[in-house]
Amino acid sequence: MDEPRIIVALDFDRASHALDLAAKLDPSLCRLKVGKELFTTAGPQLVETFMRSGFDVFLDLKFHDIPNTVSKACRAVSSMGVWMTNVHALGGKKMLQAARDALPISGNTKLIAVTLLTSMDHEDLRDIGLQGEPEQIVERLAKLTKNCRLDGIVCSALEATNLRNKIGNDFCLVTPGIRPADDGNTDDQKRVTTPFQAINNGADYLVIGRPITQAKDPLFALQQINQEITQASQEK
């Protein structure tokens, strides 16, 4: 099996639930994403536990602050040795460069950026004074992220084709909003993509939460989605 392309989003409010789920999964089939809620309640210790069990961890804390503060936060992440972490591209060039300096390309931690939050619509963008269509802003922030030598971005799989064309292959696209074709439930996600389509559109890693975490058999759900990914990769 190739390297795991699925990152399971552990959106739980307590460590025990996240540990129960992880115990059902296999580190050769997926990576794990720990976000603000779980990290705030369970801390670095839980991340270390996952890593000791063989899982790569994406620490999804989306840092956004002055360059000095983000640099120090990234240095703290660096000492944890996680596989991937992220910052907000809206923090600007100096902040992105400070984050990259603290987590150098030669290190073990991939550093990616969030461009625009997908929860923001036209009105939200206007409220904060951002001009232009969301797609244009995403593209501009993606290019800024690449110029600051970060490893990639989080984006919708629906934007992946265009971004891949504009930014090239040497840039990691991490895409949430994934729902298997036979999953009638999109939960609160508005613009969803199947795993097959996401890979076809050029995504490198798929962030998937509820289709796996809420499945009756999470390992089986993971295996099914991996099969779809393998098929899409072979047909590409």
Q: Which positions touch ligand C5P (CB under 6 A)?
A: 9, 11, 35, 118, 154, 176-177, 187, 189, 207-210
In the residue annotation, 110 being an active-site residue is answered as no
In DSSP terms, 172 is beta-bridged to: 152
Catalytic residue among 24, 33, 36, 62: 62
CB of 68 to ligand C5P, least distance (A): 26
Strands annotated E in 95-171: 110-114, 152-154
CB of 11 to ligand C5P, least distance (A): 5
CB of 199 to ligand C5P, least distance (A): 16
CB of 174 to ligand C5P, least distance (A): 9
- Residue 39 CB neighbour total at 10 angstroms: 16
- The residue nearest ligand C5P at its CB is 209
Q: What does the alpha-carbon distance between residue 173 and residue 120 come to, in Å, rounded to a whole number?
A: 20
Quick one: tokens of 57? 């961890």
Taking the alpha carbons of 44, 46, 49, 54 in that order, is the dihedral positive or negative? negative
Q: How does DSSP assign 11-80, residue by residue? A: --SSHHHHHHHHHHS-TTT-EEEEEHHHHHHHHHHHHHHHHHTT--EEEEEEE-S-HHHHHHHHHHHHHH
Closest to ligand C5P by CB, 66 or 117 = 117
Closest to ligand C5P by CB, 41 or 68 = 41
Closest to ligand C5P by CB, 12 or 171 = 12
CB of 180 to ligand C5P, least distance (A): 10
Quick one: tokens of 132? 């232009």
Q: What does the alpha-carbon distance between residue 196 and residue 198 come to, in Å, rounded to a whole number?
A: 6
Closest to ligand C5P by CB, 65 or 183 = 183
Comparing C-alpha atoms, which of 6, 30, 36, 32 is closest to residue 19? Answer: 32
Category of 10 on φ-ψ map: left (φ > 0), alpha (ψ -120 to 50) or beta? beta
Closest to ligand C5P by CB, 37 or 107 = 37
Distance of CA 45 to the CA centre of its chain: 21
Q: Which residues are catalytic?
A: 62
